[in-house]
Chains A and B, each alone.
Chain A
């Protein structure tokens, strides 16, 4: 029995805790480098779009607006280049959550469970719960910083064009709205956790990849559909002499107001200066337009509410992932066994 007792040197000092960070970085080095490269490239492009490209485009618009009726020359290419690269970078920023989801679903956890290397880690001095915590926490920090940085740069690149470029995207443009705010960074975290959840559930990369991409897509769509309803909208009534209802932003509902004050959704025809529309409106007893919408001042309330919802889903998926793992491996301290 003496041979079994650990030597005093082993027990006299507290056990060194495992170096999980070093191990994770070695294990996922390609993914880490790819993420850093992605953030640097897209971030660099956004600086280019917000700086030189915006300046050139603004200059071209200035030339264009100074043109007389007899025509003049202005830099069409600069306008096109700004528009193209603005769109490409917007797509890249919105794609980040899906890239994260794909990696997390296919590689982070599922592949390890399939090949048995997760079990290899669990039979070192690392408990399954600790393993999962490390696998979530380290990427979560990098993803939050990276996609937060990209969303911030996108917001900056978009804002530098405001009032200088005539065709600049409004704050409520679908892609711009998504890429400009915190919700995209939260979505990337949700993607990470959904990849992990599906990985633990399916224990196989292909179904985990499919499942996590589907659930991230679903969450994204649901939040996009719900966004106009996440904050009380503003209602504005305007005259039928305009061709469209007044008030620009994210529209919740618009239509006609009748003489009794009733709201008829839709039925928009155009200005009453057109005879046809005048007849249509007269038939409906319409006296004005109404527009329930979110003005730009609602931007942050909407962004932050959807961010909070996405983070709540992320937290729920995290809890579900840990309890799934716990049920599989029995890593919870059993009260009975502890009493032995």
Chain B
């Protein structure tokens, strides 16, 4: 293990209600600090539950989660969290909302950051939160999150209700934050394309479990897309997905031995990789070494 982990989970599980189903089960992963991490997975995979556990909003039903080296609640002032529906007090104005941030935080709070984020969006500080559009609300929520100068920023579907231009601006804002302060950013989305260009780390959550964890470059390099004759045996490798069409076999594998010279091989795109895992729930879990908890 190198450096501090931003988030570390071991055998983590969360069940809602005593007889409810498991939203997350048996999750183990480690997210090194300083990364920009995409949490992807289908709707209902457990992404929001994972982020809420990390934010200290939910108690795990089993297992453990450590955030910035301590229990999630202990790191409260160094962690920012923006929930999926961007809850804000509708009766307050933008300026009052920022004053709430100043009141509820310690002296890590940087009012100038909040004001800058809000001003960049042409928001009138006197407008009521109630009157804002979805994108404007997201901006205010991010202003609250960034002015805390967090070490860890947890964003649940941050871009969902933004138009492409606003999305671009917001992503720029976040990347600047990551670059300036070394903030670890964890963003969830069910649209991979939203995050692909900005993130260097990936957590694929599916069916309540972490299926892939690692640096995106390493993950891509560890997998090959192969085309080979239909009778090829792939037993020497870890097969994520294989399909035979006519006399042609196409597969996504994690090579464990040198590949035959007559196969056509290529590096998969991130989308191909993620989709292959999602289509094949039986495929083994993949974690790069530094992400093993």
Residues of A within 8 A of B56 (CB): 122-123, 329-331
Kindly state the interface size class of chain B when it binds its partner.
35 or more
Residues of A within 8 A of B229 (CB): none
Nearest CB of chain B from residue A340's CB, rounded to whole Å: 6
Chain A proximity mask over B111-137: 1 for CB below 8 Å, otherwise 0: 000000000000000000000000000
- Tell me if B's interface is mostly helix, strand, loop or mixed: loop
Residues of B within 8 A of A2 (CB): 182
Q: Can you list 15 contacts pairing A with B, beta carbon distance less than 8 Å?
A: A1-B182, A6-B108, A6-B151, A15-B108, A26-B100, A27-B100, A115-B87, A120-B89, A121-B104, A122-B56, A123-B56, A125-B108, A329-B57, A331-B56, A334-B64
- Tell me if A's interface is mostly helix, strand, loop or mixed: helix
Contact B106 A4 (CB under 8 A): no
The answer to the question of A221 belonging to the interface, with a C-beta cut-off of 8 Å to chain B, is no
Docked Cα-Cα span, A117 to B72, in Å, equals: 19
The answer to the question of B60 belonging to the interface, with a C-beta cut-off of 8 Å to chain A, is yes
B31-79 contacts to A, CB under 8 A, are 33-34, 52, 55-60, 64, 66, 69-74, 76-77, 79
Contact B58 A124 (CB under 8 A): no
Docked Cα-Cα span, A122 to B80, in Å, equals: 10
Residues of A within 8 A of B151 (CB): 4, 6
Q: A17-B106, A20-B104 are in contact. Are A337 and B83 (CB under 8 A)?
A: no
Docked Cα-Cα span, A26 to B80, in Å, equals: 22
Contact B60 A330 (CB under 8 A): yes
Residues of B at under 8 Å CB distance from A? 3-4, 33-34, 52, 55-60, 64, 66, 69-74, 76-77, 79-81, 83, 85, 87-92, 96, 99-108, 144, 148, 151, 180-182
Q: A10-B107, A23-B104 are in contact. Are A1 and B3 (CB under 8 A)?
A: yes
The answer to the question of A3 belonging to the interface, with a C-beta cut-off of 8 Å to chain B, is yes
Contact B99 A126 (CB under 8 A): no
The answer to the question of A22 belonging to the interface, with a C-beta cut-off of 8 Å to chain B, is yes
The answer to the question of A71 belonging to the interface, with a C-beta cut-off of 8 Å to chain B, is no
Nearest CB of chain A from residue B78's CB, rounded to whole Å: 8
Contact A20 B103 (CB under 8 A): yes
